[in-house]
Chain A
Amino acid sequence: MAKATPLNSFLDQAGSLSKFSFRFLWQWFKPRYEGSEFLRQCYVIGYNSLPLIGLTGFIMGLVLTMQLRPSMIEYGVESQLPAIVGISVVREIGPVITALIFAGKIGSSIGAELGSMKVTEQIDAMQVSGTNPFKYLVVSRVLAATLMLPILVILSDAISLYGSYIGVNIRGNTSFNLFWTQVFDNLAFYDVLPAFIKTFFFGFAVGIIGCFKGYNSNKGTEGVGRSANSAVVVSSIMIFILDLLAVQITDVLGFN
């Protein structure tokens, strides 16, 4: 048996996660389809995350605007504040911050829920009740996370820009129409599309890592806590790695 070094352990986890992801893809297409559980998860993962995502989005837009204003004044481009905030929020800050908040809320809850189900034999009970627990628990959650995060990011971007509008008007006087005109005039297709596409991958990463950690939880209640914690840490790191890959790909494709 190979010696358990940190590198071995990392490779072992990476291999198991890849296998788990392929199993997800395989099971996704196989009947029976868990439609009602998927819709329930969309509600739990998407709708229930909205207040938190909305609040953080609003604060993000407001603070970003207030922080940028002195520098913009210094360079004499204060009028471009809505445009700069719009591009920053839509291209980078909105997707990444929302995904990180999402990882903290949803990744940990999936990890803890499945971990707890594993150690209390609820997953085994599902199996003897004629249910494929992987499809019922994992596929539905991963799909819901993959589809809900992009929607949450769009809403978060909108709320964030509204926060920015308020931030602009704390020390200035810009009309609602002028603010939004400036934002949209400076946003192009290649600002929006790559940012939107990468959020699907962020959502998938949060869902699959949360499920992987929970589904493979062991060592009783201690293991449940560890699964939840590690789901957040690993999915947060994965979001940054995917973001790095996305920026490289869009650069190669000429979208930057």
Chain B
Amino acid sequence: MMITENKTILKDAVVKGDEPVMIIRNVYKSFENNHVLVDFNLDLYKGENVVVLGKSGSGKSVLIKCIVGLLKPDKGTIEVFGKNIPELNEAELDQVIARVGFLFQSNALYDSMTVRENLEFPLRRHWIKVTQEEVNTMVMNALEDVGLEHTVDMMPIELSGGMRKRIALARTLILKPDIILYDEPTTGLDPITGKEIIKLMVDIQKKYNTSSLIISHDMNCVRMASDRIVILLDGKCYANGTYAELKKNEDPKVKQFFE
């Protein structure tokens, strides 16, 4: 069990592989007087599922947006595959981000495009040289992974919430990313559909040996999907450990998440 005041956690982390694919060090991010991330540290290892657990507004989404370059941290380094994200130019960032999938909280499916076009979009935009036949195969494979092959020519508006989430996941998978970032994957879904999505996430992680960083406050998701949990509190990495370890913890600030 590990309760930490910041960075000592990292070497004690429960890890699946030896190779860190993401190293976050001393990251600060503020919006005017609101200090969202304060000296935040985190390592993500190959094949590992890490859940970042925190209250609403604790800065979880800000963290994940800093990782893909949507926001720039005020200070600190975010190394993904050895490249420091805040220092990369547009082309370099594009190369790194092509290996990182991002499942948005709101799914972010393009309303004006069919499911097929939604899935083709990242392939075409990342300058990946593939024939139309290969594109079709990749689209169908990604849809097969989420069990929704029949929706290929439908519009996002015609799909249910759970289906939209699965399609968004298929779009994330199409580039066969090494890291997948999930921003509140079960928000807005009923408990049964939420569990199906979590199971899908775990299956995908096993199938492709991806590393996942999951932002959540849904304890079902945390319990089912996590190899390791990081508690984000007051902008810092407050605690770190497995579900079982943290559940037994007596610290009231940790306990409040497991009650």
Listed in ascending order, the chain A residues whose CB lies under 8 Å from chain B are: 113, 116-117, 120-122, 124-132
Question: B106 contacts A120, CB within 8 Å?
Answer: yes
* The stretch of B50-58, B94-102, B249-257 that contacts the partner chain: B94-102
The reply to whether A128 and B126 contact each other, CB–CB distance below 8 Å, is: no
10 extra A-B contacts, CB within 8 A, seeds A121-B105, A124-B108, A130-B122: A113-B112, A120-B107, A121-B108, A122-B110, A124-B70, A127-B69, A128-B69, A128-B102, A130-B126, A130-B127
A-B contact pairs, 28 of them (CB 8 A): A113-B112, A116-B111, A117-B110, A120-B107, A121-B104, A121-B106, A121-B108, A122-B108, A122-B110, A124-B65, A124-B70, A125-B102, A125-B104, A125-B108, A126-B121, A127-B68, A127-B69, A127-B70, A128-B69, A128-B70, A128-B97, A129-B121, A129-B122, A129-B125, A130-B94, A130-B122, A130-B126, A130-B127
Report Cα–Cα, A125/B105, bound state, in Å: 11
The 3 A-B pairs with the shortest beta carbon distances in the complex, nearest first, are A125-B108, A130-B126, A121-B108
Minimum distance in angstroms from A32 CB to a CB of chain B: 9
Residue B90 is within 8 A (CB to CB) of chain A in the complex: yes
A133 to B91, CA, bound (A): 14
Scan B209-238; emit 1 where CB is below 8 A from any A CB, else 0: 000000000000000000000000000000
Q: Tell which of B65, B104, B108, B127 has the most Cβ of chain A within 10 Å.
A: B108
When distances are taken between beta carbons in the complex, the residues of chain B under 8 Å from A120 are 106-108, 111
Per DSSP, are chain B's interface residues mostly helix, strand or loop, or mixed? loop
Give the residues in chain A near B108, CB-CB below 8 Å. 120-122, 124-125
Report chain B residues within 8 Å CB of A124. 65, 70, 104, 108
What chain B residues lie within 8 Å of A117 (beta carbons)? 110-111
Chain A residue, CB-CB nearest to B103: A125
List B contacts of A113 (CB < 8 A).
Answer: 112
Give the CA-CA distance A113 to B68 in the complex, in Å: 24
A3 to chain B: closest CB distance in Å? 16
Looking at the assembled complex, report how far the CB atom of A50 sits from the nearest CB atom of chain B, in whole angstroms.
20
**How far does the Cβ of A237 sit from chain B's closest Cβ, in whole Å?**
29
Are A130 and B98 in contact, with the CB atoms below 8 A? yes
Question: CA A120 – CA B98 in complex, angstroms?
Answer: 21
Q: Which residues of B contact A125 (CB under 8 A)?
A: 102, 104, 108, 110
Which of A116, A130, A132 is within 8 Å of B97, CB to CB? A130
Question: B65: which A residues are within 8 A, CB to CB?
Answer: 124
Please report the C-alpha to C-alpha distance between residue A162 and residue B95 in the assembled complex, in whole angstroms: 56
Complex CA gap A117/B104 in Å reads: 13
Docked CA distance A129–B102 (Å): 9
Which of B110, B112, B125, B126: most chain A CB closer than 10 A?
Answer: B125
Report the bound CA distance from A125 to B121 in whole Å: 10
Cα(A11)–Cα(B112), bound, Å = 35
Chain A residues, CB < 8 A from B100: 128
Q: Which residues of A have CB within 8 Å of B68?
A: 127-128
